[in-house]
Amino acid sequence: MNKKKIGEYLRNNELNLEIVIDEYSGYVYKIIENMAIQYLSKEDVEEIISDTFVVLWKNRKKLDKTKELSPYIAGITRNLVREKSRVVNIHSDISDYENIIQDFFKLDMICEQREKVSIIDKTVKKMKESDIEIFELYYYSSMKYSEISDILNISQFSIKSKLFKIRKKIRKELLKGGYSDEE
């Protein structure tokens, strides 16, 4: 690495940033590569490189002209990499947790639905064969009262009445299982 003193990069008592960028861009990239290249996008790396020289320029008046330039550049670069890595990690951590939370929410809903179906299934299996048939024709086959009436030779009023009682039994069992009426 270049061991030049800061004073050697001065032109008309001002830091010659073009020469500094030409000579130190590869050095800055190497620092980034050694620290966190696998975590950063190409855009992040380019941003850190350019920000390094912007920070150097903003602090040019504070630089000791008798010291080497490379430690200043290395320090600025390391700080920028750490800062960017924190932001990248925070962002990825949050999005990872959002996905996990959404997955758990979906999983929880699926489990809850399975429990409800299981309760309904057990409740229906305990009923009389004729009630099971009405329940299945209405809910699983999506038949109308009139169609069920024709098939089973029962009045529509009787079918409505039986379905009301079946729903009442199911609701009671769901309440026992911890599920409210509004769900």
**Same topology between domain 6-96 and domain 127-176:** no
List the helix and strand counts (H, then E) for the chain: 6, 2
CATH class assigned to 127-176: mainly alpha
For the chain, domain boundaries: 6-96, 127-176
User: Using one digit for the tens of pLDDT, what is the confidence trace for 152-170?
Assistant: 999 999 999 999 999 999 8
Grade residue 63 by pLDDT with cuts at 50, 70 and 90: confident
Look at residue 121 and give its three-state secondary structure: helix
Q: Which CATH number applies to 6-96?
A: 1.10.1740
**Residue 183: predicted pLDDT:** 47
Report yes or no: 53 and 20 within 8 Å, Cβ to Cβ. Answer: yes
